[in-house]
Structure 1
Amino acid sequence: MPYRRALRAVIGLGLALTFVLTVPSTASAHGVDGAGKTIPEFVWLGITHMLLGWDHLLFVAGVALIAGQARRAAGLISLFALGHSVTLIAASLAEWRISPVKVDLVIGLSVVFVGAVALFARPKTPMHWRWFAGAVAGFGLIHGLGLSTRLQDIDVHGLGSLGRIVAFNVGIEVGQVLALLAVAIIASYLPAKLTSDQAQRVASVGLIVLGFLAAGLVLLDRANRPDPLPAAASGPCAAGERQDTLPYGAGGHPARDFYEPAETAPLKDFGHVLGDGHVIVQYQPALPAEQLAELRTYITGPAGGKVSAGPRPDQAALLTATHVRGTLTCSAYDLPALQQFVKAWFADPRSKTAE
């Protein structure tokens, strides 16, 4: 049958994903931790990210199922790769930060889309195939935005940023090829009876179910995520998506937790530990002495924990606090709001992924 190999590949991927989804530490690792990494390490980072990106792999498997032929599948997957490469590189260089929740939702629904096409509307005419190819390329652009969002979480900007971004993208493509090869090997050992028309329908329905599952997990994660600053805590501070960027480079851990107004904050070191789950507080050097003393006591005391602070004369806000997922911006000094922001972050499981 024309869809035999593609179908068996989808079933093989499904078996592999069953293992992935039953191991919490693996399933939750669909993020990026690249603090202090070299160019070759960014290639490896891309490989591992793609191999753990089961939603991306499901989409590719669905495209292969619909294509039915190796040559057509290669062409469609190449369009997908081109699409996500364009937006991954462009969005990362331009620092376009798209809401990861919205992007991940669309990625999950893209899996539903290929499952539905495989089940109800498999292309038959050249026009249908052109339409489907355009849809695959379009979803590739969206998948690339998701990859860029993950990559920017570790702040790749600064000297050599293009090389790191391209290296990560190369790793993504290598990981995609490795995943397809692994699936093909697994599929070759599956019984031939799994390639019946009924099994094709089961595989298509499976893609739809897993796509909705991926979207549901995104919504569940968003619902269970601690609010970095609850709305009830109104005042001069506002929390939201990460705004600040810190220079990426060969930094290490800061020599101490608090840097005085007359000192130069080690921004590269701050950028390094940001990827380790730390919170970086930056304040205007003109902060009043009483408030400065209170802030110093908090940062250097036991309540501070993995929090570092230093002066930032070029920022507009009086005080900011940043972790890899969000930024607190304060137009006036508000220590309780800062403490609440820090506490909420360290209650978030994602703050511990780099430990």
Structure 2
Amino acid sequence: MSVFQTYLQLGFFHIFNLRAYDHLVFLLALCAPYVLQDWRRVVALVTSFTVGHSLTLALATRRIVAFPPAVIETLIPITILLTCLGNFWRAPREPRRNDTRRPAPVWLGWANLLAAVFGLIHGLGFSNYLRELLGQNARPVLELLAFNVGVELGQLLIVGLILLVGFVVLRGFRATRRDWVLVVSGAAAGIAVVLLLNQLTGA
């Protein structure tokens, strides 16, 4: 197996893993407002998140930037909570039937910018794991690329599963989109609060 394939798999299974549940919960919160038909928008958001975490992952792995792990572990649940609060704020709003305004381009918008900013924080969370894998490799360009591609593929699979579950709930159980957003975001926010309290109290 090549170096690229090895780090591709490591990146994929690092995110597609229950031990990375804080990142999984963030993806759950990020996808909560969207349905299967919005898949292009979701891919854009996830890729914006990937761009953000790829940047800080590269900088932290090369030891150009460094932050205390405790600070990062505190900031990650805060990103989840802020995402959930945004979902709560938007959930009651339903588009008017006669609204003919064109939607914003897929790759633009505050949501994409926010996802990229939050990705900067999550990338720092990935960096300790990747530094352990790289050891003394001082110029891990290929490894970083492969790892980030693997993370992106894992994230896309996760959000695909989330959108599929949402489709089943909305169509099969006749749940409203508003209820889906509130329940999913509430669950994600609850987990984030527990993570934050554990970090602050040292539990």
The residue identity in structure 2 corresponding to 1:42 is Y
Report 1:101-120 matches (<5 A): 101-120=70-89
Show the counterpart of 2:118: 139
Q: Residues of 1 paired with 2:83 and 2:40: CA distance?
A: 18
Tell whether 2:183 aligns with 1:214.
Answer: no
More strand by share: 1
Report 1:16-31 matches (<5 A): none
Report 1:24-173 matches (<5 A): 38-52=3-17, 53-67=20-34, 69-121=38-90, 130-158=109-137, 161-173=140-152
Q: Is the 8 A contact 1:112 1:208 kept in 2?
A: yes
Taking structure 1 as reference, are residues 149 and 98 closer, same or farther at Cα in structure 2, changes over 3 Å only? Answer: farther
Tell whether 2:176 aligns with 1:195.
Answer: yes
Q: Residues of 1 paired with 2:65 and 2:132: CA distance?
A: 12
| Partner-residue secondary structure (3-state), 1:153 | helix
> CA offset at residue 103 of structure 1?
0.9
Q: Is the 8 A contact 2:61 2:127 kept in 1?
A: yes
| Partner-residue secondary structure (3-state), 2:62 | helix
| Partner-residue secondary structure (3-state), 2:67 | coil
Q: Is the 8 A contact 1:95 1:152 kept in 2?
A: no
> CA offset at residue 139 of structure 1?
0.6
Question: Which protein shows a greater Rg?
Answer: 1
Q: Residues of 2 paired with 1:139 and 1:209: CA distance?
A: 19
- 5+ residue gaps, structure 1, are 1-36, 225-355
> CA offset at residue 89 of structure 1?
1.6
Q: Is the 8 A contact 1:88 1:148 kept in 2?
A: yes
Larger relative contact order (CA 8 Å, sep ≥ 6): 2
Q: Residues of 2 paired with 1:174 and 1:132: CA distance?
A: 21
The residue identity in structure 1 corresponding to 2:112 is A
Q: Is the 8 A contact 2:77 2:196 kept in 1?
A: yes
Scaled by the length of structure 2, what TM-score is found? 0.75
Q: Percent identity?
A: 24
Taking structure 1 as reference, are residues 166 and 111 closer, same or farther at Cα in structure 2, changes over 3 Å only? Answer: same
Scaled by the length of structure 1, what TM-score is found? 0.46
Taking structure 1 as reference, are residues 81 and 183 closer, same or farther at Cα in structure 2, changes over 3 Å only? Answer: same
Taking structure 1 as reference, are residues 157 and 207 closer, same or farther at Cα in structure 2, changes over 3 Å only? Answer: same
Q: Residues of 2 paired with 1:89 and 1:134: CA distance?
A: 19
- 5+ residue gaps, structure 2, are 96-102
Dislocated runs of 4+, deviation >4 Å: 121-126
Q: How many residue pairs are counted as aligned between the two chains?
A: 184
